[in-house]
Structure 1
Amino acid sequence: MGIMGFLRNRAGVIIVIAIGFAIVAFLLSDAIRSGQGFISDSRTEVGEVAGESVSYKDFNQRVDQNSQQFKQQMGSLNSQMTSYVVENTWNQTVSGIILKKQTEKLGLVVGGDEIVDLLFNNPTQQVKQIFTNQQTGEFDRASALSSRKSADTDPSGQLKAQWVALEDNVQQQRVNEKYINLVKNGIYVNSLDAKDDYTNRNKLVNFEYVFKEYASVPEKDVIVTDADYKEYYEQNKYKFKNATETRTFEYVAFNAAPSKQDTLDAKVKIDKIAEGLRTSTNDSLFVAINSDTKSPIVYQKKGQLEPALDSVMFGASKGFIYGPFFSNGTYKIAKLIDSRISPDSVKARHILINPASSGGLDKAKATADSLKNLIQNGADFAALAAKFGTDASKDKGGDLGTFGRGAMIPAFEDAVFAGTTGQIITVATQFGVHVIEIEKQIGSSQVVKLAIVDKALAPSSVTEQGAYQKAQSFLSNASNAKQFDENAKKEGLNKLVGENVTPIQGSLLGLEDARNLVRWAYKADKGDVSNEIFDIGDKYVVAVLTAIKPEGTLSLEDVKKQIEPDVKRLAQGKVLKAQFEKNVSGATSLAQIAQKIGVQVTPVENVVFANPVIPGVAQENKVIGSIFGSQPNKVSKPIEGDRGIYVYTVKSFTNPAPLANVLKVKEQMEQAIAQQVDGAVFEVLKQKAKVKDNRANFY
């Protein structure tokens, strides 16, 4: 009773404590699961640059925009291209934030008149790309002005938002240019620098040397110690800075590519499809039902088809069937539907009637017919376009310029290329109903229309299941790194390595889309075997994480395997140098040294300091630098080069003629330095900006 009374009297306090404990436990469990603190925004932030967060939403919008631009140029994106777009967008974002902070500190601005000039009079490259006339290749200023004017009245606001983004980009780009130019204007080369550079490029030295490679020391005579590793590491520590964390993993791949039986079965199916296409009376419908690629059937000119078809279809008769043939992993059959002589390009204008704002498709067609009659009876086409048109061309009297095949949608294209000059026609497309005037048709060439059915050669379920079961069996018997190695050896599997993989890397050698595998690697601990089988292309992959290299200067342990050849060379160098020092002692000429160590004296002429190469051997900066600092006719001490040990004697120096034009050399040096400013400035600022990169959590 005492305990129950205590609980009743303090129930409120106990409940509050319990709720508080539950909240803390929830936060703790969430933090443990995510591996981050309570107030972490890493699930909504792609990163942080100089204290400014980069939200996933904003960054992903930029990625989408850049992806769309990339698709317009390349047609489609694979995993490698996608990774490139993400990386490029990140670099743009980082540099944008860093440079913006710098330009704001300096108070650099771009005036309104300057923006107008950069958009319409002396457009930037970005603006040119958007508003370049496809036929002339020239910047279309009228189109740019019309688009900007339309943005102010665009009911959706989408065009307005695009222009705001474009103007912001142009403005910041110009501000950045001003900043870089300020830095470039601060570059100065004095007369002493110019004279030194001139001397380094023109002063000649003639010398003789004896040389022995490190590799000449037998391995049995070399004992590599931990002290050797430490010595080399300390001397070369600056080389081992990791710009970002990297991870290394080993993996085995189980092949699920189509088997011989899969190929035979696919060939039987495609032969049946070929017979169906041969007897088809509705080729468009047949292609839509049977083809993997659902692309519209359009006229194409020579050079636009793939080579196998391009070589036969322009001389074939209607109804001709080519194939089946195999191309890029796909079986294809092609049927010639039509062949004709057609214009190469067309100049046209149109009035687009939008069914949504006209009361439906029937009313839009009726309006189009009325406009057609008015135009045929002498009405002003441009005036009607300005009044009834619903796209950007209305501000230009409906003018679409001159365009070739492929520039317009199929229904529109078929109508204008099949019509005649001066003809007024109406055509319905997915955009609405068009009233079109064909103003001019230019050139003529043969075009063909093909019905193409394609079927990708794919593995059967039996093939895929067989490969997956092998991967599953391997994984079930490999719970740690030791078992992974043992099973791979037992089954005779080839272990592949993903070495020093970066967080955002998208592909590996032989694995085009490996993002899921890379994501796993960045969540795993060293020695972990993947807890899933990765389906990558035509392979099932199981992996084990073998190394984690953190950002910053790597430890000796991290680079030990990497530097092993160099450390071995260091140990060989010690043995070889001791041999040289023994033989050099008391020698008065290179010939004596050469005889003692069993090599020849090699003469060299006309070497310059600026090109420190010993002909026939290698670039030897340290050796050539030592030579230019020596006195003639003296036997040098043994010098450790990159390839081996050298002893030399300088025969003579030839000084160049006095520098006649110091100003010209200074200008050349300043120009060379200025070319490096853009990248160098960004790298310095980036190092000081403390960039935090969380992209691996999202991409």
Structure 2
Amino acid sequence: MGIMGFLRNRAGVIIVVAIGVAIVAFLLSDAIRSGQGFISDSRTEVGEVAGESVSYKDFNQRVDQNSQQFKQQMGSLNSQMTSYVVENTWNQTVSSIILKKQTEKLGLTVGEEELFDLLFNNPTQQVKQIFSNPQTGVFDRSTAINSRKSADTDPSGQLKQQWVALEDNVQQQRVNEKYINLVKNGVYVNSLDAKDDYNNRNKLVNFEYVFKEYASVPDAQVNITDADYKEYYEQNKYKFKNPTETRTFDYVAFDAAPSKQDTLDAKVKIDKIAEGLKASTNDSLFVAINADTKTPIVYQKKGQLDPALDSVMFNANKGFVYGPYFSNGSYKVAKLIDSRISPDSVKARHILLNPSTEGGMDKAKAKADSLKNLIQNGADFAALAAKYGTDASKDKGGDLGTFARGAMIPKFEDAVFNGTTGQVMVITTQYGVHVIEIEKQIGSSKVVKVAVVDKSLVPSSKTEQEAYQKAQSFLSNVSNEKQFDDNVKKEGLNKLVGADVTPIQGSLPGLDDARNLVRWAFKADKGDVSNEIFDIGEKYVVAVLTAIKPEGTLSLEDVKKQIEPDVKRLVQAKVLKAQFEKNTNGATSLAQIAQKMGAQVVPVENIVFANPVIPGVAQENKVIGSVFGAQPNKVSKPIEGDRGIYVYTVKSFTSPAPLANTLKVKEQMEQAISQQVDAAVFEVLKKKANIKDNRANFY
């Protein structure tokens, strides 16, 4: 591989939130076509952030690139993962734009010497991920510098573009750090703050209280009126700000999961496969032909097999067949092909020859044999690797470092783990012809090679057709919300609710890939029944749109059902408070009040303001706050807490010793506040920026 290939294959595990979009573009040089055919010229913006538009073409390219990174690590993406990638790519984009505008406004920059240091001397995490040895994890400075030099002379200009993107990203990341550090440096805690914090954590109070829970008020005494709803709504209006439009819909799902007959049929098939595997003389070919999951058959150590196999295969004899058994939605049967004692890890080096540049496979093999003979006769392996090698390891004398099983492709792995120390060999893989020297083999443990044939348990076409017909029959009888509800009751179906679904939501409870259903909901009007049957996993779904909540402060009608429990508590509080006020009138002690209220006087000791928990009851911020502001030995007025109404009497306060080290407390408080700065700054800037999110039109 040349430098371009080297760059592609040095990508570490992606941390989507932590790294910028530009670095992803650097790692994936071949931009995926963004497919704009279904979008008109007037709808090409995914959104707008602080006056800057985000085009679908650019954003979708970043989504595709991030998706490719996830696929490299996860193998495949389901709908939930795809939604996660889209969401994180959007957050990256928003963060990048709003922070860049702030740093430009302040004139924050990164000089040439500082940039060089961030790239090559004290490299950022992004740079390390690209240019670190995958086996040792050590940053390779010389390779990074050589790559940068090559960029200036790259005839295609592609490597130059990648370096420009990387440098821009590194610079912006550093500028962002400077901006955050400026904010952190503005965090200040004075001596009074420190003393208050010290007292809040150490001043003790002992008190007694009488308490009645809201739930103690019988339902017969709870008469909720429209005025009660309005009162609660007006007092708590700030809680009802909807950051984006949401939709709520009811739906029924007709299950097309495998039937009993489908299961019996699958068992018959796997039993026949088990007999075939027992008699097979070419197990690899048998697996390739019969298995649903085509994976290479390789040696594995204990702990790497399916748990059902791990407990039997390491004590079995060659040719032993286990199963059929059921695991992860599939029937499986397994056969032990071989077992042996093998090294735990190997240190090796190689010279990779490319047949296309050597004039064909035969010439590449002949050259490899010649290099093997030279090495066996004492030639310098490292020098030959540097001269003839075609991948990045040539710059290190072909050194591949020390690696365990699973790090290399199966054929290469078998060669070095089954060979002997000092052995030089020639093998051919999909990457070309390798001349390999095994330098060292470390440790030893038993490994097994197991052939596994799996057959997924899936519904038959008959099962699917029956479920679909039920869904079709239901849909044909409903055209509005009332008919929907009536037929649900008539057929005894389970009605489910997709509550407050957001425009880009991808899944619902029990429905992993509900994107098409959500898209329909955001195009429908309230009361509409879906005009199609949604095929989601093993379910056929029919839905009716029941509510639309707009962006902004929701109306009382929008939240009335949601706030009903809180309004009920408000009314209960009024009833209880009136009872307490009546019974505290003229009372001189808590004991008198407790007797009239049918409650007990409960003593509490050593409560601190910073931990406002009443033991055995709940966290009661309002009550404890009132206690610390009260005079001792006086009966309080009734206080509305979270769990009920309280009346208390403070017995005593115990003040702590004077604060001896104000500076230390200040430093601790400043450190705690500084740790919150990063997220807090972003949230503040995000709220102030005018953000328009049109992703639902595209994803």
TM-score with structure 2 setting the length: 0.90
Question: Is this contact kept in 2: 1:346–1:403, CA < 8 A?
Answer: yes
Structure 1 unmatched runs, 5+ = 1-33
Deviation at 1:593, TM superposition (A): 2.1
Report the equivalent of 1:29. Answer: none
Structure 2 unmatched runs, 5+ = 1-37
Deviation at 1:143, TM superposition (A): 5.6
Q: Which aligned pairs between 1:299-338 and structure 2 lie closer than 5 A?
A: 299-338=299-338
Structure 2 residue 111 is the aligned partner of structure 1 residue 99: no
Deviation at 1:157, TM superposition (A): 6.0
Distance between the aligned counterparts of 1:322 and 1:421, measured in 2? 35
Q: Which aligned pairs between 1:501-580 and structure 2 lie closer than 5 A?
A: 501-580=501-580
Distance between the aligned counterparts of 1:155 and 1:335, measured in 2? 53
Question: Is this contact kept in 2: 1:150–1:392, CA < 8 A?
Answer: no
Distance between the aligned counterparts of 1:672 and 1:39, measured in 2? 49
Choose 1 or 2 for highest CA Rg. 1
Specify the code of the residue in structure 2 equivalent to 1:218: P
* Seq. identity, %: 86
Report the equivalent of 1:24. Answer: none
Report the equivalent of 2:209. Answer: 209
Structure 2 residue 60 is the aligned partner of structure 1 residue 60: yes
Structure 2 residue 263 is the aligned partner of structure 1 residue 270: no
Report the equivalent of 1:227. Answer: 227
Distance between the aligned counterparts of 1:379 and 1:485, measured in 2? 84
TM-score with structure 1 setting the length: 0.90
Report the equivalent of 1:488. Answer: 488
Distance between the aligned counterparts of 1:332 and 1:228, measured in 2? 62
Structure 2 residue 420 is the aligned partner of structure 1 residue 420: yes
Deviation at 1:638, TM superposition (A): 1.8
Question: Is this contact kept in 2: 1:134–1:403, CA < 8 A?
Answer: no
The DSSP-based 3-state class of the residue aligned with 1:563 is helix
Specify the code of the residue in structure 1 equivalent to 2:589: S
Indicate how the Cα distance of structure 1 residues 154 and 424 shifts in structure 2: closer, same or farther if over 3 A, else same. farther
Report the equivalent of 1:631. Answer: 631
Report the equivalent of 1:674. Answer: 674
Distance between the aligned counterparts of 1:59 and 1:474, measured in 2? 40
Report the equivalent of 1:4. Answer: none
Question: Is this contact kept in 1: 2:151–2:160, CA < 8 A?
Answer: yes
Distance between the aligned counterparts of 2:155 and 2:539, measured in 1? 50
Q: Which aligned pairs between 1:294-443 and structure 2 lie closer than 5 A?
A: 294-443=294-443
Deviation at 1:60, TM superposition (A): 2.6
Distance between the aligned counterparts of 2:346 and 2:149, measured in 1? 27
Distance between the aligned counterparts of 1:373 and 1:469, measured in 2? 71
The DSSP-based 3-state class of the residue aligned with 1:333 is strand
Specify the code of the residue in structure 2 equivalent to 1:291: A
Indicate how the Cα distance of structure 1 residues 236 and 91 shifts in structure 2: closer, same or farther if over 3 A, else same. same
Distance between the aligned counterparts of 1:482 and 1:454, measured in 2? 47
Distance between the aligned counterparts of 1:582 and 1:603, measured in 2? 23
Question: Is this contact kept in 1: 2:349–2:439, CA < 8 A?
Answer: yes
Deviation at 1:258, TM superposition (A): 0.6
Superposed CA deviations along residues 61-91 of structure 1, whole A, max 9, x for unmatched, are 3223333433444444332222222222221
Report the equivalent of 1:471. Answer: 471
Indicate how the Cα distance of structure 1 residues 499 and 605 shifts in structure 2: closer, same or farther if over 3 A, else same. same
Most deviating of 455-464 and 663-672: 663-672
Deviation at 1:566, TM superposition (A): 0.7
The DSSP-based 3-state class of the residue aligned with 1:566 is helix
Distance between the aligned counterparts of 2:621 and 2:355, measured in 1? 75
Most deviating of 560-569 and 292-301: 292-301
Most deviating of 600-609 and 97-106: 600-609
Report the equivalent of 2:4. Answer: none
The DSSP-based 3-state class of the residue aligned with 1:322 is strand
Deviation at 1:264, TM superposition (A): 0.6
Deviation at 1:691, TM superposition (A): 1.4
Deviation at 1:134, TM superposition (A): 4.8
The DSSP-based 3-state class of the residue aligned with 2:646 is strand
Distance between the aligned counterparts of 2:264 and 2:638, measured in 1? 70
Specify the code of the residue in structure 2 equivalent to 1:311: S
Deviation at 1:336, TM superposition (A): 1.8
Indicate how the Cα distance of structure 1 residues 444 and 150 shifts in structure 2: closer, same or farther if over 3 A, else same. farther
Deviation at 1:514, TM superposition (A): 1.5
Report the equivalent of 1:588. Answer: 588
Report the equivalent of 2:8. Answer: none
Superposed CA deviations along residues 357-390 of structure 1, whole A, max 9, x for unmatched, are 2333233223323333333343333233223222
Distance between the aligned counterparts of 2:55 and 2:379, measured in 1? 55
The DSSP-based 3-state class of the residue aligned with 2:622 is helix
Specify the code of the residue in structure 1 equivalent to 2:195: K
The DSSP-based 3-state class of the residue aligned with 1:384 is helix
Question: Is this contact kept in 2: 1:255–1:539, CA < 8 A?
Answer: yes
Distance between the aligned counterparts of 1:275 and 1:445, measured in 2? 31
Indicate how the Cα distance of structure 1 residues 600 and 340 shifts in structure 2: closer, same or farther if over 3 A, else same. closer
Distance between the aligned counterparts of 2:161 and 2:319, measured in 1? 50
Deviation at 1:678, TM superposition (A): 0.8
Deviation at 1:551, TM superposition (A): 2.1
Distance between the aligned counterparts of 1:153 and 1:324, measured in 2? 60
Specify the code of the residue in structure 1 equivalent to 2:430: Q
Q: Which aligned pairs between 1:128-207 and structure 2 lie closer than 5 A?
A: 128-141=128-141, 144=144, 161-207=161-207
Distance between the aligned counterparts of 2:246 and 2:287, measured in 1? 48
Specify the code of the residue in structure 1 equivalent to 2:207: F
Distance between the aligned counterparts of 1:312 and 1:435, measured in 2? 37
Most deviating of 356-365 and 549-558: 356-365
Question: Is this contact kept in 1: 2:355–2:361, CA < 8 A?
Answer: yes
Distance between the aligned counterparts of 1:499 and 1:632, measured in 2? 49
Most deviating of 158-167 and 546-555: 158-167
Indicate how the Cα distance of structure 1 residues 518 and 127 shifts in structure 2: closer, same or farther if over 3 A, else same. same
Superposed CA deviations along residues 593-647 of structure 1, whole A, max 9, x for unmatched, are 2222222222222222222222222222222222222222222222222222222
Question: Is this contact kept in 2: 1:213–1:644, CA < 8 A?
Answer: yes
Deviation at 1:248, TM superposition (A): 1.4
Deviation at 1:158, TM superposition (A): 5.8
Report the equivalent of 1:3. Answer: none
User: Over the residues paired in the alignment, what is the CA RMSD in angstroms?
Assistant: 2.3
Distance between the aligned counterparts of 1:321 and 1:274, measured in 2? 8
Distance between the aligned counterparts of 1:675 and 1:627, measured in 2? 31
Question: Is this contact kept in 2: 1:270–1:324, CA < 8 A?
Answer: yes
Distance between the aligned counterparts of 2:493 and 2:674, measured in 1? 53
Report the equivalent of 2:10. Answer: none
Distance between the aligned counterparts of 2:249 and 2:339, measured in 1? 56
Specify the code of the residue in structure 2 equivalent to 1:560: K
The DSSP-based 3-state class of the residue aligned with 1:664 is helix
Distance between the aligned counterparts of 2:471 and 2:318, measured in 1? 51
Question: Is this contact kept in 2: 1:480–1:527, CA < 8 A?
Answer: yes
The DSSP-based 3-state class of the residue aligned with 1:90 is helix
Specify the code of the residue in structure 1 equivalent to 2:698: F
Deviation at 1:324, TM superposition (A): 1.3
Distance between the aligned counterparts of 2:601 and 2:337, measured in 1? 79
Most deviating of 555-564 and 120-129: 120-129
Indicate how the Cα distance of structure 1 residues 394 and 134 shifts in structure 2: closer, same or farther if over 3 A, else same. closer
Specify the code of the residue in structure 2 equivalent to 1:192: L
Distance between the aligned counterparts of 2:338 and 2:112, measured in 1? 55
Question: Is this contact kept in 2: 1:318–1:337, CA < 8 A?
Answer: yes
Distance between the aligned counterparts of 2:464 and 2:309, measured in 1? 33
Specify the code of the residue in structure 2 equivalent to 1:684: V
Question: Is this contact kept in 2: 1:517–1:534, CA < 8 A?
Answer: yes
Distance between the aligned counterparts of 1:308 and 1:205, measured in 2? 59
Indicate how the Cα distance of structure 1 residues 75 and 474 shifts in structure 2: closer, same or farther if over 3 A, else same. same
Report the equivalent of 1:110. Answer: 110
Most deviating of 505-514 and 452-461: 505-514
Deviation at 1:305, TM superposition (A): 1.0
Distance between the aligned counterparts of 2:497 and 2:557, measured in 1? 19
Report the equivalent of 1:612. Answer: 612
Question: Is this contact kept in 1: 2:135–2:400, CA < 8 A?
Answer: no
The DSSP-based 3-state class of the residue aligned with 1:488 is helix
Specify the code of the residue in structure 2 equivalent to 1:54: V
The DSSP-based 3-state class of the residue aligned with 2:577 is helix
Deviation at 1:149, TM superposition (A): 5.8
Specify the code of the residue in structure 1 equivalent to 2:445: S
Question: Is this contact kept in 1: 2:573–2:640, CA < 8 A?
Answer: yes
Indicate how the Cα distance of structure 1 residues 391 and 493 shifts in structure 2: closer, same or farther if over 3 A, else same. same
The size of the alignment, in residue pairs, is 662
